[in-house]
Amino acid sequence: MQAITFKTDVLIIGGGFAGLWAARQASTHVKDVLIVDKGPRDWAGLGGMSGGDMITLHEDQDIHEWLDEVVFFNDGLCDQLMMLDTLRDSLPRFHDYEAMGHTFSRDSRGRYVRIPQRGLAHVSLTTSSPTGKGGINMRAALLRSLEGCSVRRMGNIMITAITRNGNRVSGAVGFFNRSGEPVFISAKAVLITTGTGGWKASYLQNSMASGCVELALEAGARLRNFEFIDNWNVPKLFAWEGQTVLLPLGGRFINNRNEEFMAERYSPVLGSKTDTQYNIRGMVLEVKAGRGPIVFDTSRIPAECMEEVTPAAGWMKLNNEKLKKLGVDFFKDKIEWMPQPIASEGGIATELDGSTEVEGLFAAGTAQSLPTGVYFGGLSICHCATSGHKTGDAIGRYAANCETPFFDKEQAQMLLQRELCRLGRTGIAPKDIVRVTQELMAPVDVCIMKSAGGLQRALQRLEEVKHEALPRMGAEDPHYLCKMVEARGMLMLTEAYLRASLERTESRAGHFRADYPQRDETSPLYWVEIRRNHGEMELVRVPLPLDSYPVKPYRYYMDQFTFPIEEVRKFLH
């Protein structure tokens, strides 16, 4: 089948919020920007399903106080220079959203509604209005802002590999996931803005898989922070957005004895007003002790706040209406919640401008490594805007000042043929690989109270699947070929997670090892980085450049919690 060929100055892989921000800025420097996404042309990624709340440093707030708290919250493991850029640029991007027509919430006195985060004194998010439609409105505003820009957007294209000319990227290859037609794209520079992927959990990220792990590694880039994942806390029977707003307003988790167990046993200072990772560790211990199930209680949220947090639009409103028809009132009933691994918080290691060590290859948004497993509500919305804008400017300037590299069609054909040769073949279905991968991640000693035994057990099973099942996958049509690539990417993501989790032999931020429940104070702070070496993942510990950071870690968020060692050790076997 003849490949359809495109040529562009800047190719952006991923049409979510970061990709849209980047395209908007890159188009001020070059004549043509092309965004491709595996989903529909206008879906704009998972940001459209979010609440639209945004971490924003307002004029009356001190960036140094915020940075000090962020370093504290991350137990010292923080890319301070990137975080400073994110905080510094948050307000200009916030006002850009307003200029696009987006609305952030204000109280009766006209002040922005700010919600404190994780029991901290300074860091807060600013909410969008109306509740439940913030992400939808942001998506519409971003798409409107591209009208008249030199930006092309194409959906339903699955990118499978980035092409190179020596150490410089030359474009990418993929296929239309409805027709199976091959696609070659020649570009001066390539920007990855896909998410890093996840495990298709029941929450809003159930469409998220594969992401950028395979693309980045095979292109020669380094990965970072893959020991950190987003363990989220969700209602057992349905999806709900807004925990980071509800907890500071008085929401709490209670056990079957009606005890707010976080306040009574594990964190008297913060109680439930903390990061999800800490709450779910407490939940696991409570259930193990026979004090489950765990329910979410909203009875202490002030009445005047109820209207503000009740979904007024979007998928949240639909869910709320369906629940009421079933006799379930989210704000009055005590509803059972459960933890689940959602998505990776690792990403591509980059410079501050989004560039990688591969010339012409950039990354932004959630494809770029920033969080370390603990998370402020609204950080992704903020970072997608700030890094998308900054990296879009950098890649646009780069492409404006270089020639188009040679695009080797023979190389492109070879890279793509490994996927297309499976089209029309029967074999193991992608969903079966996905299911096995989810089962690998589900045990508590793999995703929450990690142990060497649990991680190695999962890794051994993963190696069996990788060598025995992956070669036997088939795809009856282009849709399932897309799913096959996703399933393989999910397995690779899981391998990165397991290997990085084994490498970090301590507990810190969102990473908790039952066999190493304390910080390692004997070693300098380090990142766990992954690169490709002869087809295998090679892990390296890279020291943080603390000499160039303004805050020298001196206090640690994890020290506010007491998880009994004798109970934690029960998860070692």
**Average confidence (pLDDT) over 393-415:** 96
- Has residue 204 got a pLDDT over 70? no
**Other C-beta atoms lying within 10 Å of the C-beta of residue 496:** 25
DSSP per-residue letters across 486-518: HHHHHHHHHHHHHHHHHH--S-BTTB-BTTB-S
Across the range 514-526, mean pLDDT stands at 95
The whole-number average pLDDT for the span 355-366 is 97
pLDDT band at 208 (very low <50, low <70, confident <90, very high): low
> How much is the pLDDT for 525?
97
**Per-residue confidence band for 136, with pLDDT thresholds at 50, 70 and 90:** very high
Residue for token digits 């992704």? 380
- Name, in order, each residue with C-beta under 8 angstroms of 326's C-beta and a sequence gap of 6 or more: none
pTM as predicted: 0.96
3-state per-residue secondary structure call for 437-463:
HHHHHCCHHHHCCECHHHHHHHHHHHH
**Lowest mean pLDDT segment, chosen from 220-224, 272-276, 305-309:** 305-309
CA distances to 282, 385, 511, 520, 571 from 517, in Å: 14, 35, 10, 9, 12
Q: What is the residue-wise DSSP string for 234-296? A: EESSS----HHHHTTTT-EEE-TTS--HIIIII-TTTTTSS-HHHHHHHHHHHHHTT-PPPEE
Confidence of residue 2 (pLDDT cuts 50, 70, 90): confident
What does the pLDDT look like over 103-128, one tens digit per residue? 999 999 999 999 999 999 999 999 99
What are the angstrom distances between the C-alpha of 285 and each of 265, 315, 342, 568?
10, 33, 20, 8
Query: What torsion do the CA atoms of 21, 82, 540, 460 make, to the nearest 10 degrees?
Result: -50
Q: For all residues of the chain together, what is the average pLDDT?
A: 93
Is residue 188 within 8 A of residue 360, CB to CB? The reply is: yes
Please state the rounded mean pLDDT for residues 171-198: 95
pLDDT over 70 for what percent of the chain?
98
> In CATH, which of 3.40.50.1580, 3.30.43.10, 3.30.450.90, 3.90.700.10 is domain 231-341?
3.90.700.10
Q: In the prediction, which pLDDT does 1 show?
A: 72
Rounded CA-CA distance 365/352 in Å is 12
pLDDT level of residue 464 (50, 70, 90 thresholds): very high
Look at phi and psi of residue 275 and say left if phi exceeds 0, alpha if psi is from -120 to 50, else beta.
beta
The position carrying tokens 């690779």 is 492
For 137, 243, 300, 354, 473, the CA distances from 272, given in Å and listed in that order, are 30, 11, 12, 35, 44
Percent over 90 (pLDDT), the chain: 81
Q: Say which amino acid occupies 212.
A: C
Using DSSP, state whether 233 is helix, strand or coil: strand
d(CA 35, CA 10): 8
Residue pair 125/54 in contact by the 8 Å Cβ criterion: yes
Domain 4-230+344-413 and domain 422-517+544-560 have a common topology? no
Each domain of the chain, given as residue ranges in start order, spans: 4-230+344-413, 231-341, 422-517+544-560
Q: Give 252-268 pLDDT, tens digit per residue.
A: 999 999 999 999 999 99
Question: Which residue stretches of 371-476 are H helix?
Answer: 379-400, 409-420, 430-441, 444-447, 452-464
For the chain, what is the total number of helices (H) and then of strands (E)? 17, 18
DSSP H or E run through 526 = strand 526-533
Neighbours of 65 (CB within 10 A): 14
- Check residue 209 and give its pLDDT: 66
| 361 backbone dihedrals φ, ψ, rounded to 5° | -105, 125
3-state DSSP assignment of residue 97: helix
Tell whether the model's pLDDT for residue 207 goes beyond 80.
no
Residue 342, pLDDT above cutoff 70: yes
Give the distance from CA 376 to its chain's centroid: 12
Residue 552 is predicted with a pLDDT of 97
- Reduced to 3 states (helix: H, G, I; strand: E, B; else coil), residue 368 is strand
Place of tokens 């303004």: 550
**What is the pLDDT, as a whole number, of residue 421?**
92
Q: What are residue 562's phi and psi, to 5 degrees?
A: -130, 105
CA pair distance 48, 55, nearest whole angstrom: 17
Helix (H) or strand (E) holding 187: strand 182-192
Find all residues with CB under 8 Å of 197, minimum gap 6, and list them. Answer: 208, 209, 210, 211, 212, 213, 343, 344, 489, 490, 493
User: In this structure, what token pair is assigned to residue 279?
Assistant: 């709450």
Distant-in-sequence, close-in-space partners of 114: CB < 8 Å, separation ≥ 6: 58, 124, 125, 126, 127
For the domain with range 422-517+544-560, which CATH number is right: 3.10.129.10, 3.90.1200.10, 3.40.50.300, 1.20.58.100?
A: 1.20.58.100
Name the CATH code of domain 4-230+344-413 (choices 2.60.120.20, 3.10.20.600, 3.50.50.60, 3.30.450.20).
3.50.50.60
pLDDT value of position 59: 97
Residue pair 369/1 in contact by the 8 Å Cβ criterion: no
How confident is residue 500, by pLDDT bands cut at 50, 70 and 90? very high
Two structure tokens written together for 325? 């028809």
Q: What is the dihedral angle through the alpha carbons of 419, 420, 421, 425, rounded to the nearest 10 degrees?
A: 100
Read off the tokens for 363.
């990354």
Identify which of 375, 321, 286, 8 has the alpha carbon closest to the alpha carbon of residue 157. Answer: 8
pLDDT class of 571 with cuts at 50, 70, 90: confident
Find the mean pLDDT for residues 316-335.
Answer: 89
Specify the DSSP class assigned to residue 121: S
Residue located via tokens 């916030």: 94
Residue 254, sorted as left (phi over 0), alpha (psi -120 to 50) or beta, turns out to be: beta
The backbone torsions φ and ψ at residue 225, rounded to the nearest 5 degrees and listed phi first, read 70, 30
